[in-house]
Structure 1
């Protein structure tokens, strides 16, 4: 991924991989569905100039084990708390992309004292109403096929569990966002797969929130517009 090697922490029935680099205030990076911490390869060299970066491979992703209890955002939020407790970190900046943004929301609701500032890149609350049909319908179709194939293939079963994170509600509703009292930044692309109405409603519910829309950007603005993305994140976190 980059020059750092993963470290591991035991979280119940699974070993969770993370990458720890840089010095300063901790900044946790959470990747999207089906990805791993390598998604942040254009961010980590820049962010480590200012922060101690902790990039986590979510349960069932990358170098992290899936365990035996299936995958859920609640379980992954517990994993993140265990990781931070193991590292002696009681408060951090948290940046999540896509499913990682949903995980960041779940974590911030479950363990609010751990989150200093929150950045949500391409996150959503409502799985169907929040996503554009050209994305969500194929995801649901693929999940249905994987449910069948998963009966015969362990590999398909693992992929089914990962896809399921994009299909089922994750225990958060819009009204819950009122509880996110930490400073929050939402980043989306002008042509994101998240509906504009979803982003606007989320921003309206979060008490201290602003939205940054990347012109001509899609869902993957961190990878495709890294200079602007990195500058936006650093300026928000440092209060510039």
Structure 2
């Protein structure tokens, strides 16, 4: 896939696929809902000039197995910790996109000692208030439909569980962000599906945070504006 082959780490009842490329300080990449590490195909070649990149397919996504239990951010946090332990990584920079950004927040709150710098691309804390209605309401409808079809189809049940990550709160409040003290960068597009009010409130609660808004960008700025995105990330990580 996208020129790289994964290794697999056994995390409880599921094998989790991860791509380990490059050398240097570790940089973990976490993709969005319903995607896989292929989303980072325009980032990995550039980032590996400076960092050892660990791109992880979240449980139930890409080449990673779902396991037998319900998908949750708590379970994916545990998976990520096991992957890092298996790789001998005690701390890393973490870049998360969309649901991967939410996972990065949850991981930073659970294991703050394991995160050097945090980059949140299109992440949110609140579901309905944080995401624009024309995006979030169809997600609720699709979740309801796949919940019904999931009684008859394993494929629909898996889709339901993945969509559920975008429907149910993931156990983080705005006040929790006050505990994330490592340097943090929020990247959003000018026309992101994340409400600008949500981004501003998140930045207000994060003690050491800067925000980069990509002009004319939407939610997928890493894919659509890769040169600017990569430069912004690397300059932040290098402290420039």
TM-score, shorter chain, exceeding 0.5: yes
Are 2:19 and 1:19 equivalent residues in the alignment?
yes
* Partner SS, residue 166 of structure 2: coil
SS at match of 1:164: helix
Structure 1 equivalent of residue 127 of structure 2:
127
Gaps of 5+ in 1: none
Looking at structure 1, the residues matched to 123 and 208 of structure 2 have their Cα atoms a distance apart, in angstroms, of: 17
Task: State the distance in 2 between where 1:234 and 1:82 align.
Answer: 26
Q: Distance in 1 between matches of 2:198 and 2:74?
A: 22
**Alignment correspondent of 1:68:** 68
- TM-score, normalised via structure 2 length: 0.99
Cα shift readout 1:82-131 (whole Å, capped 9, x = no counterpart): 00011110010000000000000000000000000000000000000000
1:19-69 deviations in whole A, cap 9, x for unaligned? 000000000000000000000000000000000000000000000000011
Identify unmatched segments of 5+ residues in structure 2. none
TM, length-normalised to structure 1: 0.99
Matches within 5 A, 1:80-119: 80-119=80-119
Deviation per CA, 1:157-204: give whole Å up to 9, x if none.
Answer: 000000000000000000000000000000000000000000000000
1:45 aligned residue: 45
Moved over 2 A (4+): none
**Cα deviation 1:116-156 (Å, max 9, x = unaligned):** 00000000000000000010000000000000000000000
Q: Residue 59 of structure 2 aligns with which residue? A: 59
SS of alignment partner, residue 222 of structure 1 = helix
| Aligned equivalent of 1:231 | 231
Q: What is the CA–CA distance in structure 2 between the aligned matches of 1:3 and 1:106, rounded to whole Å? A: 30
- SS of residue in 2 equivalent to 1:117: strand
Task: State the shift of 1:2 in Å.
Answer: 2.6
Superposition deviation, residue 4 in structure 1: 1.8
Alignment size in residue pairs: 240
Query: In the alignment, what sits opposite 2:147?
Result: 147
Measured in 1, the distance between the counterparts of 2:3 and 2:190 equals 33
Does the residue aligned with 2:182 lie in a helix, a strand or coil? coil
In the alignment, which residue of structure 2 is the partner of 1:167? 167
Q: Distance in 1 between matches of 2:183 and 2:97?
A: 17
